[in-house]
Structure 1
Amino acid sequence: MAKVTVRYWAAAKAAAGIAEEPYDAATLAEALDLVRGRHPGELSQVLVRCSFLVDGDPVGKRGHETVPLAEGGTVEVLPPFAGG
């Protein structure tokens, strides 16, 4: 288990009601399951549309269960942004 910080941006931050929080998780999938458990409802729906960075690296289309988390790492939760 790694201690990581999950940071929420834009709509994810609004739905969570907090900018960031700590979690203990081994993979991105596990961290997101914990997030959904702590924030059922709107944030769970927002997460479906989000992309993620783990320690600054885009997760892309990789399976979340295959993305390991490192001790002291950061998961960035990025909803789609409007603009151009």
Structure 2
Amino acid sequence: MAKVTVRYWAAAKAAAGVAEELFDAATLAEALAAVRARHPGELARVLQRCSFLVDGDPVGTRGHETVRLAEGGTVEVLPPFAGG
């Protein structure tokens, strides 16, 4: 497992109550499961609408279980933003 930083933005940050947290996870799916376990309320609902960047690269439609995380990496949690 890799130790990764999960950074929350906008509504995700508000729901988490923190800007970032550390998690141990090998894949994006594992990291998001850990986030949901730690924050089972509003943040778990917000995550359903979010897009994600892993080390600056958009995840897009790839299965979260296929996205490997690197030691010291970063997952950015991006809720939909208004405007352009």
| Per-residue deviation, residues 41-77 of structure 1 (Å, max 9, x unmatched) | 1000000000000000000000000000000000000
Q: Does 1:6 align with 2:9?
A: no
Partner of 1:72: 72
Whole-Å separation in 2 of the counterparts to 1:58 and 1:20: 18
TM-score between the two structures when normalised by the length of structure 2: 0.99
Identity of aligned residues (%): 87
The match for 1:31 is: 31
Equivalent residue for 1:49?
49
Cα distance, 1:79 vs structure 2: 0.1
Task: Tell me by how many angstroms 1:83 deviates.
Answer: 1.5
- Hey, what's the Cα distance between the residues in 2 that align with 1:72 and 1:43? 23
Q: What TM-score, normalized to structure 1? A: 0.99
User: Structure 1: how far apart are the matches of 2:16 and 2:61?
Assistant: 24
Aligned CA-pair RMSD: 0.4
Alpha-carbon shift at residue 25 of structure 1 (Å): 0.2
Q: Give 5+ residue unaligned stretches, structure 1.
A: none
Q: Over residues 8-39 of structure 1, what are the superposed CA-to-partner deviations in whole Å (9 max), with x where a residue is unaligned?
A: 00000000000000000000000000000000
